[in-house]
């Protein structure tokens, strides 16, 4: 016979518990091991609630349903178990059935279960009470000091095991947290790397695209057989699409802070409609505009144009299948807001889709035709401007999209610019661009617009020419080896040349930090590569008016 069965039991409990690092597992192991103590005791284990205000039954062996219910949650400081939790001292009750320490709420259950002898010991870890361990039995026989010591020793083991489990889960949590932040960091780094790459790619792709688009636009100005004209138009569309992909890549990969400048919504609308004019015309979409006098809004013009482009694009796509349509775009002040309305006479929006339009990746279009990002990106942009964007179906068919932006900055009213912008007088334009072909195509486009063009292939050459001959406007590439566009402008200023005021910055990445710095310094207008003849004409108009 084992000379000390209690010691053996304790060893079993200790070795089992020390292997467990999970709280639930510790509780289960502890209670199972305890029944080995005498075999017929009823045991229960309570743990303090996280706030420390109550005790919760976390495990038991042999409790009747009634007892389990009466013991589910116990107050601290009251009743035998509550007192042990409060004092941290072991409590031995001779007869639970008659003891004043038995809670009135539990007495019936205790009597019914025939519990007499009872002992409760605290579970501690690092000097703090975590809970209690109780044993009861159905004979009127007090627990012996040896049994009590065994129970206390077991409770100590449980305390240590619980503390280990807590430490372990805390460590695990911290590890998870670390892993998560590390993943985020890697993600952010990857995005930054894509941003860098995109910026480089944008430069490399937009330069040849400028040449391609420019050359084709020049060709389209000539007498051509209709079949050739059709094919060239496809090339124009596909080149424009490539440019859009590059722009989107830039926009998504790099988070540029939105710039806030006073801008005329009518101008923005006009620019976007210019951009889409050709495609709309091809699909027999008539464009009706109505620009009412409206104060400027403070906004990031590029982002607002992106929103408008998405709305016009959607309207176009909705009307295209029918082969004709009317696109109505209005700008007007509306109860204290600047409002843009984009209306089409397409099929409208199915009622069940109205709520989902602005969800990312919600699309009803075929793969390749729509990614479902247009409206969600637009929604985000408008929200960032403290504005509103919503959709409705029009009473007489078709969809209506509304953008409202708050007026901001100094409240001055500007006249809506006339719908037909007068063409400018013939200008002498200096083109500073390091890529030979790009410089050539810009020069030819300028000549076609009735201007004269002089090319300079780097900043120093440009300065020399500007000093030697008077020019009306200079178009300068921002990113050039040697002298950058920004430095070129600074040199013009340093030399007191009036041309500095009529500088246009050109770039494949309109939102690069270099461009932002150059524009912030000079207030000069931007020409994004690649561009249409209309955009080139428009930027010249802006430049000469400065
Ligand atoms: N003018 C409209 N008429 C009818 N339905 C529209 C109109 N504009 C948007 N929708 C519906 O809203 C959906 C989501 O539009 P959203 O611009 O977000 O994505 P998309 O146009 O499908 O794809 P993406 O803009 O990314 O190319 C569209 O697929 C379409 O079902
Ligand atoms: Mg869209």
Ligand 1, atom 21, lies closest to the CA of 370
Evaluate whether residue 341 is within a structural domain: yes
Which residue among 252, 322, 327, 357 has the greatest number of ligand 1 atoms within 8 angstroms of its CB, and so is best to mutate? 357
The pLDDT of residue 6: 62
Ligand 1, atom 1, lies closest to the CA of 315
Q: How far apart are CA 398 and CA 204, in angstroms?
A: 41
For 527-541, how does the pLDDT look when each residue is reduced to its tens digit (9 = 90+)?
999 998 888 998 998
- Residue 390's Cβ-count burial label (10 Å; 0-12, 13-18, 19+) is middle
Proximal ligand: closest to the CA of 390: 1
Evaluate whether residue 240 is within a structural domain: no
For 3-32, how does the pLDDT look when each residue is reduced to its tens digit (9 = 90+)?
456 666 677 777 777 777 777 888 887 777
The pLDDT of residue 95: 92
User: The CATH number of the domain where 344 resides is what?
Assistant: 3.30.565.10
Domain boundary residue, one of 390, 416, 442: 416
Q: Is the Cβ–Cβ distance between 358 and 375 less than 8 Å?
A: yes
SS3 annotation, 218-275: HHHCCCCCHHHHHHHHHHHHHHHHHHHHHHHHHHHHCCCCCCCEEECHHHHHHHHHHH
Evaluate whether residue 227 is within a structural domain: no
- Considering the domain architecture, whether residues 133 and 107 belong to the same structural domain is answered as yes
- Considering the domain architecture, whether residues 357 and 460 belong to the same structural domain is answered as no
- Considering the domain architecture, whether residues 333 and 460 belong to the same structural domain is answered as no
Q: Report which ligand 1 atom has the smallest distance to the Cα of 401.
A: 1
- Considering the domain architecture, whether residues 405 and 457 belong to the same structural domain is answered as no
DSSP structural state of residue 41: -
Evaluate whether residue 207 is within a structural domain: no
- Considering the domain architecture, whether residues 513 and 387 belong to the same structural domain is answered as no
- Considering the domain architecture, whether residues 384 and 426 belong to the same structural domain is answered as no
Ligand 1, atom 13, lies closest to the CA of 363
Domain boundary residue, one of 369, 398, 416: 416
Domain boundary residue, one of 120, 146, 172: 172
**What do you get for the CA distance between the two ends of the chain, in Å?**
107
The pLDDT of residue 190: 65
The pLDDT of residue 192: 65
Looking at the structure of the chain, the number of domains it has is 3
**464 by DSSP, 3-state: which?**
helix
- Considering the domain architecture, whether residues 355 and 328 belong to the same structural domain is answered as yes
Q: How far apart are CA 285 and CA 340, in angstroms?
A: 19
Evaluate whether residue 236 is within a structural domain: no
Evaluate whether residue 203 is within a structural domain: no
| Sequence-distant (≥ 6) Cβ neighbours of residue 10 within 8 angstroms | 150, 153, 154, 157
Nearest alpha-carbon partner for 110 in 130, 134, 128, 89:
134
- Considering the domain architecture, whether residues 461 and 544 belong to the same structural domain is answered as yes
**What's the 55 CA to ligand 2 centre distance in angstroms?**
58
The pLDDT of residue 124: 93
Q: Is the Cβ–Cβ distance between 72 and 63 less than 8 Å?
A: no
- Considering the domain architecture, whether residues 394 and 428 belong to the same structural domain is answered as no
Report the sign of the C-alpha dihedral through residues 93, 95, 99, 104, in that order: positive
Tell me if the pTM is above 0.75: no
Q: Is the Cβ–Cβ distance between 325 and 346 less than 8 Å?
A: yes
Domain of 392? 265-416
- Considering the domain architecture, whether residues 141 and 97 belong to the same structural domain is answered as yes
Q: How far apart are CA 201 and CA 198, in angstroms?
A: 5
Neighbours of 371 (CB within 10 A): 14
Neighbours of 237 (CB within 10 A): 13
Neighbours of 284 (CB within 10 A): 13
Q: How far apart are CA 93 and CA 65, in angstroms?
A: 22
Evaluate whether residue 198 is within a structural domain: no
- Residue 344's Cβ-count burial label (10 Å; 0-12, 13-18, 19+) is buried
Evaluate whether residue 501 is within a structural domain: yes
Report the sign of the C-alpha dihedral through residues 294, 297, 303, 307, in that order: negative
Cα radius of gyration (the chain)? 39
Q: List the chain pLDDT tens, one digit each, 546 residues.
A: 344 566 666 777 777 777 777 778 888 877 777 766 556 678 899 999 988 899 999 988 889 999 999 999 999 999 999 999 999 999 999 999 999 999 999 999 999 999 999 999 999 998 899 999 999 988 888 888 988 888 898 898 888 888 888 888 888 888 888 877 776 677 566 656 766 777 777 778 888 999 999 999 899 989 999 999 999 988 988 888 788 777 766 665 545 556 678 889 998 999 889 878 888 999 999 999 999 998 889 888 888 988 999 999 999 999 999 999 999 999 999 988 999 999 999 999 999 999 888 887 789 998 767 778 788 878 878 887 888 999 999 999 999 999 999 886 533 333 333 333 446 789 999 999 999 999 999 999 999 999 999 999 999 999 999 999 999 999 999 999 999 999 999 999 999 999 999 999 999 887 788 888 999 999 999 999 999 888 899 899 889 887
**What's the 307 CA to ligand 1 centre distance in angstroms?**
12
- Considering the domain architecture, whether residues 428 and 412 belong to the same structural domain is answered as no
Which residue among 285, 312, 314 has the greatest number of ligand 1 atoms within 8 angstroms of its CB, and so is best to mutate? 314
DSSP structural state of residue 98: T
Tokens of 133: 């361990």
Ligand 1, atom 27, lies closest to the CA of 370
User: The CATH number of the domain where 36 resides is what?
Assistant: 3.30.450.40
User: The CATH number of the domain where 533 resides is what?
Assistant: 3.40.50.2300
User: In the sheet where 473-477 sits, what is the strand order?
Assistant: 452-456, 428-432, 473-477, 503-507, 526-528
Nearest alpha-carbon partner for 514 in 263, 254, 272:
254
> Ligand 1 site: residues with CB under 6 angstroms?
310, 314-315, 318, 344, 346, 349, 353, 357, 362-365, 370-376, 399
- Considering the domain architecture, whether residues 332 and 437 belong to the same structural domain is answered as no
The pLDDT of residue 535: 87
| Sequence-distant (≥ 6) Cβ neighbours of residue 361 within 8 angstroms | 371, 372, 373, 376
């Amino acid at each position: 016979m084992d000379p000390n069965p209690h010691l053996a039991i304790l060893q079993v409990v200790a070795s089992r518990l020390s292997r467990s690092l999970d709280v639930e597992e510790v509780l289960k192991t502890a209670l199972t091991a305890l029944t080995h103590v005498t075999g017929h005791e009823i045991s229960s284990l309570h743990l303090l609630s996280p706030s420390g205000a109550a005790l919760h039954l976390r495990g038991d062996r042999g409790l009747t349903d009634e007892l389990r219910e009466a013991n589910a949650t116990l107050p601290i400081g009251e009743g035998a178990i509550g007192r042990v939790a409060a004092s941290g001292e072991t409590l031995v009750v001779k007869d639970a059935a008659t003891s004043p320490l038995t809670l009135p709420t539990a007495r019936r259950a205790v009597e019914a279960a025939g519990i007499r002898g009872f002992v409760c010991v605290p579970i501690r870890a690092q000097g703090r009470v975590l809970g209690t361990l109780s044993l009861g039995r159905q004979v009127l026989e007090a627990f012996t000091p040896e049994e009590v010591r065994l129970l206390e020793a077991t409770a100590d083991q449980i305390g240590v095991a619980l503390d280990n489990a807590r430490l372990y889960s805390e460590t695990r949590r911290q590890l998870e947290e670390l892993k998560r932040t590390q993943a985020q960091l890697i993600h952010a780094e990857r995005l930054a790397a894509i941003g860098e790459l995109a910026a480089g790619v944008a430069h490399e792709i937009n330069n040849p695209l400028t040449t391609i688009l420019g050359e084709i636009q020049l060709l389209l100005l000539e007498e051509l057989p209709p079949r050739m004209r059709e094919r060239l138009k496809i090339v124009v569309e596909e080149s424009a699409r490539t440019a859009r992909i590059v722009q989107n890549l830039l926009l998504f990969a790099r988070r540029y802070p939105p710039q806030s400048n006073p801008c005329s919504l009518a101008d923005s609308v006009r620019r976007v409609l210019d951009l889409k004019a050709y495609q709309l015309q091809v699909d027999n979409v008539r464009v009706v505009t109505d620009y009412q006098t409206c104060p400027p809004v403070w906004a990031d013009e590029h982002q607002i144009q992106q929103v408008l482009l998405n709305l016009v694009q959607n309207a176009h796509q909705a009307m295209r299948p029918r082969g004709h349509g009317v696109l109505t775009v209005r700008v007007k002040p509306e109860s204290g807001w600047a409002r843009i309305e984009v209306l089409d006479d397409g099929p409208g929006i199915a009622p069940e889709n109205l709520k989902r339009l602005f969800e990312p990746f919600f699309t009803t279009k075929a793969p390749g035709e729509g990614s479902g990002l247009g409206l969600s990106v637009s929604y985000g942009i408008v929200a960032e401007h403290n504005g509103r964007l919503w959709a409705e179906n029009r009473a007489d068919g078709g969809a209506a999209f509304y953008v409202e932006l708050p007026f901001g900055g100094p409240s001055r009213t500007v006249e809506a610019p006339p719908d037909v912008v007068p063409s400018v007088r013939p200008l002498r334009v200096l083109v500073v661009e390091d890529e030979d072909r790009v410089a050539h195509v810009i020069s030819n486009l300028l000549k076609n617009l009735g201007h004269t063009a002089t090319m300079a292939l780097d900043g120093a050459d440009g300065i020399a020419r500007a000093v030697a001959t008077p020019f009306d406007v200079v178009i300068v590439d921002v990113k050039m080896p040697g002298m950058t566009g920004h430095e070129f402008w600074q040199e013009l200023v340093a030399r007191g040349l009036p041309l500095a005021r009529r500088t246009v910055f050109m770039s494949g990445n309109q939102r690069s930090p270099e461009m932002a710095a150059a524009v912030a310094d000079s207030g000069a207008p931007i020409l994004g590569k690649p561009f249409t003849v209309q955009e080139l004409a428009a930027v010249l108009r802006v430049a000469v008016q400065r």
